């Protein structure tokens, strides 16, 4: 019997042979003939996006891609149609010039239900009036005018930290910094404090709500239709009671806020209502802001607290040389001395963002915390793109990541070490500034970066001034994260413990 006869008799054999041939043909095309075939990378990512989906889901995407760059160079093909770039010279072209490249389609996975958000939308005509309406709230002038209310949030966080330190039990500083971040963003933008700091218990009531949106990052690159079905499956098959209760509480808060807000009101929901945005969408935009404002800033500040606490106790580690031990153990005290000197200066108090060591601590915290470690993917326009003599075809997805830029050992020697001194005058290089990517870049950079930066300065200032971290030490030697679009701290804890009599 001939092969043709066999195929005619068994349709399943025909399907198998044809299917196998189609898959092999597609793989050969993607490896040899695809417009990105000249970009180096391992064989599997060249043939299928499943490799990227897998590493994104398990949370080691940034680390794995970093290893690929060490092997293949500054441009690596990580999916059939996607290229990761670790060259900071690409930032201006991808994100800044003429508004930057459009966001990749996968950002739509961050839509909330049927509503796009200012962050997730791919449509500039949709985003522009909404961003324009609320942008004044993020101006330096507006933030300065609300300093007293923001400091009030910070003071409450410091006082609660002092109270919890006295218990002698480990304190989850991540919970407290998240609470502060949520209180600050709601106080400043909504005019109505969520009062997370005042909540009793070991977890902010909005944390499960925030974590639910963080976990969306596991599926970030999935096609929209697959993402929707997976999200539905997880929600129906493995429902989480804590997440449901947390979302319901956030919904009640936002519902009450928006329903009481009138058009012409100068807060965030009022400005959106004033341009004709529906109440339903305004509620979505407010929740999106609460998530973003809580997660990233809370993670950044918690990491700063952990590093400063580590440094107050570093002299205990016998493996360090005396010179290094003294340098590390004095960092928190050096910061505190600068803050106290400024607050008592007879010649007038200097703006805290002009204080050199405080600035170094905040900038180093933003560099090392990895609140958003992975790529910010963009779509190459129809004209195509040539970067340093390498042509990348229209419709390809390209991007840079904070992980690659912030942990570049040539730009930041000993990159995994928290070292504020590298940001002091005389040490800062143009390359360091070019590689700073904590808030993204260009017109689609983080809309709240001014507010987030101010929060970090204020909180770090007051944590130093109060002396609350004296005697504290971290419970974890290393903070491990899931490297999703918004990183997630494993076990959702960054704990400090205070020796009795020192808090």
* Co-location of 7 and 60 in the same domain: no
312, pLDDT greater than 60: no
The count of structural domains within the chain is 2
pLDDT at 502: 53
* Mean pLDDT along residues 407-429: 95
317, pLDDT greater than 50: no
Distances (CA, A) of 502 to 469, 472, 475: 9, 8, 16
* Co-location of 74 and 7 in the same domain: no
* Mean pLDDT along residues 470-480: 91
- Nearest 10 degrees: Cα torsion 424, 427, 432, 433: 50
pLDDT at 223: 87
* Co-location of 8 and 123 in the same domain: no
* Mean pLDDT along residues 321-325: 44
- CATH of residue 212: 1.10.630.10
Quick one: how far is CA 146 from the chain centroid? 25
Provide the b/e sequence for 257-291 (b: ≥16 CB within 10 Å): bbeebeeebebbbbbbbeeebeeebbbbbbbbbbb
* Phi, psi angle pair for 124, to nearest 5°: -65, -30
* Co-location of 73 and 25 in the same domain: no
* Average pLDDT across the chain, whole number: 90
**In whole angstroms, what is the distance from residue 231 CA to residue 157 CA?**
35
194, pLDDT greater than 50: yes
* Co-location of 158 and 115 in the same domain: yes
* Co-location of 171 and 258 in the same domain: yes
* Mean pLDDT along residues 102-127: 94
For the chain, the C-alpha Rg in angstroms (whole number) is 25
pLDDT at 13: 64
Is the model more confident about 483 or about 501? Answer: 483
Domain holding 8, by residue range, is 1-33
* Mean pLDDT along residues 308-323: 53
* Co-location of 16 and 106 in the same domain: no
Q: Residue 141 falls within a domain, yes or no?
A: yes
**pLDDT confidence band for 23 (50 / 70 / 90):** confident
Q: Residue 311 falls within a domain, yes or no?
A: no
Q: Residue 503 falls within a domain, yes or no?
A: no
Q: Residue 333 falls within a domain, yes or no?
A: no
* Co-location of 143 and 3 in the same domain: no
Element (H, E) at 474: strand 472-474
pLDDT at 323: 45
* Co-location of 153 and 200 in the same domain: yes
Nearest to 73 by CA among 85, 63, 61, 81: 85
Cβ atoms of 305 and 172 within 8 Å: the answer is: no
Is the model more confident about 314 or about 406? Answer: 406
State pLDDT tens for residues 33-77.
999 999 999 999 999 999 999 999 999 999 999 999 999 999 999
HSE of 426, CA atoms in CB hemisphere, 13 A: 2
pLDDT at 230: 79
* Co-location of 45 and 24 in the same domain: no
Per-position DSSP letters for 123-171, written without gaps between them = -HHHHHHHHHHHGGGGSHHHHHHTHHHHHHHHHHHHHHHHHHHTT-S-E
Query: Which of 109-118, 341-350, 415-424, 462-471 shows the lowest mean pLDDT across its residues?
Result: 341-350
């Amino acid at each position: 019997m001939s092969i043709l006869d066999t195929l005619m008799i068994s349709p399943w054999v025909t399907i198998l042979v044809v299917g196998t041939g189609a898959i092999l043909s597609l793989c050969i095309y993607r490896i040899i003939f695809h417009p990105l075939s000249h970009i180096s990378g391992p064989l599997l990512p060249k043939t299928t996006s499943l490799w990227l989906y897998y590493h994104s889901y398990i949370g080691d995407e940034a680390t794995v891609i970093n290893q690929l760059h060490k092997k293949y160079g500054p441009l690596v093909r990580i999916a059939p149609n996607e290229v990761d770039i670790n060259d900071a010279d690409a930032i201006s072209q991808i994100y800044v010039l003429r508004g930057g490249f459009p966001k990749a389609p996968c950002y739509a996975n961050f839509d909330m239900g049927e509503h796009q958000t200012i962050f997730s939308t791919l449509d500039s005509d949709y985003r522009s009036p909404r961003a324009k309406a609320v942008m004044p709230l993020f101006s330096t002038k507006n933030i300065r005018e609300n300093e007293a209310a923001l400091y009030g949030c910070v003071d409450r966080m410091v006082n609660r930290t002092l109270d919890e330190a006295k218990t002698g039990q480990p304190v989850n500083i991540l919970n407290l910094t998240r609470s502060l971040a949520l209180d600050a963003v709601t106080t400043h933008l909504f005019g109505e404090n969520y009062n997370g700091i005042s909540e009793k218990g070991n977890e902010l009531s909005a944390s499960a709500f925030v974590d639910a949106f963080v976990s969306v990052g596991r599926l970030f690159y999935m096609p929209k239709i697959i993402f929707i079905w997976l999200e539905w499956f997880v929600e129906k098959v493995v429902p989480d009671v804590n997440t449901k209760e947390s979302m319901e509480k956030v919904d009640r808060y936002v519902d009450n806020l928006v329903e009481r807000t009138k058009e012409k009101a100068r807060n965030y929901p009022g400005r959106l209502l004033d341009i004709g945005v529906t109440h339903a969408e305004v509620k979505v935009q407010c929740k999106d802001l609460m998530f973003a404002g809580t997660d990233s800033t809370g993670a950044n500040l918690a990491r700063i607290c952990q590093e400063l606490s580590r440094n107050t106790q570093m002299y205990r580690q016998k493996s360090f040389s005396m010179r290094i031990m003294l340098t590390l153990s004095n960092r928190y005290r050096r910061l505190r001395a600068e803050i106290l000197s400024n607050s008592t200066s007879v010649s007038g108090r200097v703006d805290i963002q002009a204080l050199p060591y405080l600035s170094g601590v905040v900038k180093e915290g933003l560099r090392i915390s990895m609140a958003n470690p992975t790529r910010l993917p963009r779509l190459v326009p129809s004209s195509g793109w040539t970067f340093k003599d390498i042509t990348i075809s229209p419709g390809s997805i390209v991007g840079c990541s904070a992980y690659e830029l912030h942990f570049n050992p040539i730009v930041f020697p000993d990159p995994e070490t928290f070292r504020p001194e590298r940001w002091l005058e005389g040490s800062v290089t143009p390359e360091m500034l070019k590689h700073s990517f904590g808030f993204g870049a260009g017109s689609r950079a983080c809309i709240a970066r001014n507010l987030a930066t101010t929060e970090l300065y204020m909180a770090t200032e007051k944590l130093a001034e109060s002396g609350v971290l004296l005697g504290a030490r971290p419970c974890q030697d290393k903070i491990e994260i899931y490297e999703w679009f918004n990183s997630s701290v494993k076990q959702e804890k960054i704990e400090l413990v205070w020796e009795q009599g020192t808090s």
